[in-house]
Chains A and B, each alone.
Chain A
Amino acid sequence: MSQDVAPGAVRPAAAKPAARPDEGRWVPYLFIGPLALYLLLLQFYPLVQELLLSFTSTSLLSPRDHTYVGLDNYRNLIAASDFHQVLLVTFVYTIACVVLAVGLGLAAAMLLDQPFRGRGVARALVTIPWAAPPVAVALVFVWIFNAQYGVFNFVLRSLGFESGQENWLDSPELALPAILITTIWQIFPFAAVVILAALQGVSSELREAAIIDGADRLSVFGAVVWPTIRPSVALLALFLTIWSIRRFDLIWLMTQGGPIGATETLVIKLYREGFVYRDLGQAASVGMIGVAIALLVTFVYFHFTRRAEIAEGRR
Chain B
Amino acid sequence: MTTATMRWGHALRIAAVLLILAAAGFPIYWMFVTSLTPSAELFAVPPRILPTWSQRDVYEEAFRAIPVATWLANSALIAAGTTVLSIGLAIFPAYALSRFRFRGKGLMGLGLFATQMLPEAMLVVPLYAIFGQLALLNTLGGLVLANTAFSVPVITWLLKGAIDGVPIDIEEAARIDGCTRVGIVLSIVLPLVAPSLAAAAVIAFFHGWNEYVLAQTFISQEALRPASVGLASFVGELSTPVHTVMAVGLLYTIPAVVFYLFVQRYVVAGMTAGSVKG
Contact B123 A46, beta carbon cutoff 8 Å: yes
Contact of B127 among A25, A46, A111, A128 (CB under 8 A): A46
Give the shortest distance, in Å, between A288 (CB) and chain B (any CB): 8
Flag A272-294 by CB within 8 Å of B: 1 or 0 each: 00110000100110010011001
Contact B130 A45, beta carbon cutoff 8 Å: yes
Nearest CB in chain B to that of A151: its residue: B47
Most buried by B among A5, A139, A280: A139
Contact A248-B256, Cβ < 8 Å, known A27-B100, A137-B27, A143-B34:
no
Which residues of A lie under 8 Å from residue B257 when comparing CB positions? 128, 131-132
Which residues of A lie under 8 Å from residue B92 when comparing CB positions? 31-32, 34-35
Interface of B, secondary structure class, is: helix
Interface assignment of B141: CB less than 8 Å from any CB of chain A:
no
Contact A32-B210, Cβ < 8 Å, known A4-B110, A267-B119:
no
Contact of A127 among B95, B167, B260 (CB under 8 A): B260
Contact A38-B105, Cβ < 8 Å, known A46-B130, A249-B213:
no
Query: How many angstroms from the CA of A169 to the CA of B114 in the assembled complex?
Result: 34
Contact B116 A242, beta carbon cutoff 8 Å: yes
Stretch at the interface among A78-86, A93-101, A189-197, A219-227: A189-197
Q: How many residues of B contact A (CB 8 A)?
A: 107
Residues of A within 8 A of B (CB): 1-2, 4-5, 9, 12, 14-20, 23, 25, 27-29, 31-32, 34-36, 38-39, 41-47, 49-50, 53, 60, 63, 107-108, 111-112, 114, 116, 122, 124-144, 148-149, 151, 154, 158, 185, 189, 193-194, 197, 231-232, 234-236, 239, 242, 245-246, 248-249, 252-253, 267, 270-271, 274-275, 280, 283-284, 287, 290-291, 294-295, 298
In the assembled complex, 23 residue pairs joining A and B whose CB atoms fall closer than 8 Å, in A order, are A1-B278, A20-B181, A27-B181, A32-B92, A35-B89, A35-B90, A38-B89, A39-B112, A41-B130, A46-B126, A50-B125, A111-B20, A128-B261, A133-B227, A133-B228, A136-B31, A136-B249, A140-B27, A140-B28, A140-B30, A185-B24, A267-B122, A295-B114
